[in-house]
Amino acid sequence: MQDLLLTSPHLKDFLDDFAQMMAEFLAVDGEAVWCGVTLLRRNRAGTVASSGARARAVDELQYGFGDGPCLTASREHRLVHVADMRTEPRWGDYTKAAVAEGILSAVGVPFELGEEASAALDVYSDRADRFDEATIASIQRQVLLTSKALRLAVQMDRHRTTQSNLEAAMASRTSIDLAVGMIMNQQQCSQQDAVDTLRSLSNHRNVKLRDLAEQMVTAAGPVTPHFNY
């Protein structure tokens, strides 16, 4: 898991690789299974990973219906086992849609992420009663072993996002400051008057303040500072 985390540049890459690895691990005598991972932040699906197109399609059914094995496992932090979708009473029309996709059994296992987020691995099969107690226990062990690495991956992803947002905010602040300076120079007014003018233009043109400032700075061309000694 550590090697997988180190070689995966982004959280989704890590989860995609893990889902693929689990699908290969659980395949028995050529009988394929399909794996997906759902990561919830603020109780909303934030990241979706899968071992392939079929797992992705079935997971997307859950998001469309707003519920299903993986979402339940993530939200309620408990094991979810569906032995036969054709007789499963939970989740309403989702089960009918899953059967129409050829999915007859499934297992949802939550990760142990503490307060970082909620996530679960969903494993699907086109055969009913595909997952016995021993197989489910094996899936749970793998998910538990992966939880620490995934928790670290979530933290790293959050830090990357924070850094990107900070860099974007700093870039926006620089553009706005330059635009304000240009207005002060053109109109020989105070900084506050220049800020008010920029805001007025932003409202009149229905353009975000940051975008308007960037347009003004770009139109003005390279800015060469002058210093008096």
pLDDT per residue over 181-226, tens digit each? Answer: 888 888 888 888 888 888 888 887 788 877 878 888 777 765 444 4
Which class would CATH give 171-220?
Answer: mainly alpha
Structure confidence at residue 221 (pLDDT): 63
Region 40-60 average pLDDT: 77
Per DSSP, helices labelled H in the chain are 2-7, 11-26, 53-65, 69-76, 93-100, 133-187, 191-205, 209-220
pLDDT at 212: 79
Per-residue pLDDT band for 167 (boundaries 50, 70, 90) equals very low
Q: Is 221 exposed, middle or buried (0-12, 13-18, 19+ CB in 10 A)?
A: exposed
Confidence of residue 94 (pLDDT cuts 50, 70, 90): very high
Range from 32-41, 43-52, 97-106, 169-178 carrying the lowest mean pLDDT: 169-178
pLDDT for 146 beyond 70: yes
Tell me where in the chain the CATH 3.30.450.40 domain(s) lie: 2-160
**What is the Cβ-side half-sphere exposure of residue 26, based on CA atoms within 13 angstroms?**
31
The pLDDT > 90 percentage for the chain reads 31
Range scoring the smallest mean pLDDT among 5-9, 74-78, 116-120: 5-9
- Which two tokens mark 25? 């691990």
pLDDT at 92 over 70: yes
- Computed over every residue of the chain, the mean pLDDT equals 79
**Banded model confidence at residue 126, pLDDT cuts 50, 70, 90:** very high
From-to residues of CATH 1.10.10 in the chain: 171-220
Lowest mean pLDDT among 55-69, 85-99, 117-131, 212-226: 212-226
Residue-level pLDDT at 178: 78
What is the CATH T-level fold of the domain 2-160, as seen in this structure? Beta-Lactamase (3.30.450)
End-to-end CA distance of the chain: 59
Other CB atoms within a 10 A radius of the CB of residue 215 amount to 14
Q: How confident is the model at residue 164 (pLDDT cuts 50, 70, 90)?
A: very low
pLDDT at residue 73 is higher than 70 = yes
pTM of the predicted model, to two decimals?
0.63
